[in-house]
């Protein structure tokens, strides 16, 4: 039931773009995206709901393909501050409560 994330790790030069994918074998109601910097707590970036629109946080955007149970996070013109581990969290369709299960994370390193 844990979502799958790919890639596991990626290294970018400042200004390059990246895509992080999240997929589930179960029908999804929502997908969350969080970023965690080393030694800190995860920080909420955005949430995509079934039937909702693509979301955006600064130069980071995300989409949700309900038919494929997949979400993608797009990092455009990456900045050094984008470095960290990105987690997707999924909520299954539809339980009576909002239980968010996180994927294993994607480590992103942006270098000058």
Partner 1 sequence: DARVTQTPRHKVTEMGQEVTMRCQPILGHNTVFWYRQTMMQGLELLAYFRNRAPLDDSGMPKDRFSAEMPDATLATLKIQPSEPRDSAVYFCASGLVVGQGRGYTFGSGTRLTVV
- Residue from the set 17, 37, 65, 104 that interacts with partner 1 by CB under 8 A: 104
Question: Taking Cα atoms as reference points, which of 39, 41, 36, 35 lies closest to residue 58?
Answer: 35
DSSP string, 35-99: EE-TTS--EEEEEEETT---EEETTEEEEEETTTTEEEEEE-S--GGG-EEEEEEEEETT-SS--
- Residue from the set 87, 106, 108, 110 that interacts with partner 1 by CB under 8 A: 87
Q: Which stretch binds partner 1 (CB under 8 A): 18-26, 29-37, 60-68, 75-83?
A: 29-37
- Residue from the set 16, 19, 21, 49 that interacts with partner 1 by CB under 8 A: 49
Does 92 participate in binding partner 1 (rule CB under 8 A)?
no
Which is nearer to partner 1, 41 or 67 (by Cβ)?
Answer: 41
Q: Which stretch binds partner 1 (CB under 8 A): 16-24, 64-72, 74-82, 92-100?
A: 92-100
- Residue from the set 42, 75, 82, 84 that interacts with partner 1 by CB under 8 A: 42
Q: How far apart are the first and last CA of the chain?
A: 37
Does 40 participate in binding partner 1 (rule CB under 8 A)?
yes
User: How many whole angstroms separate alpha carbon 17 and alpha carbon 68?
Assistant: 23
């Amino acid at each position: 039931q844990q979502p799958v994330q790919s890639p596991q790790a990626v290294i970018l030069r400042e200004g390059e773009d990246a895509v992080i994918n999240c997929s589930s074998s179960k029908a999804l109601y929502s997908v969350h995206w969080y970023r965690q910097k080393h030694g800190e707590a995860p920080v909420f970036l955005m949430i995509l709901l079934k039937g909702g629109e693509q979301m955006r946080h600064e130069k980071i955007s995300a989409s949700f393909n309900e038919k494929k149970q997949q979400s993608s996070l797009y990092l455009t013109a990456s900045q050094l501050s984008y470095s960290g581990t990105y987690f997707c969290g999924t909520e299954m369709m539809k339980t009576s409560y909002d239980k968010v299960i996180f994927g294993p994370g994607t480590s992103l390193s942006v270098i000058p």
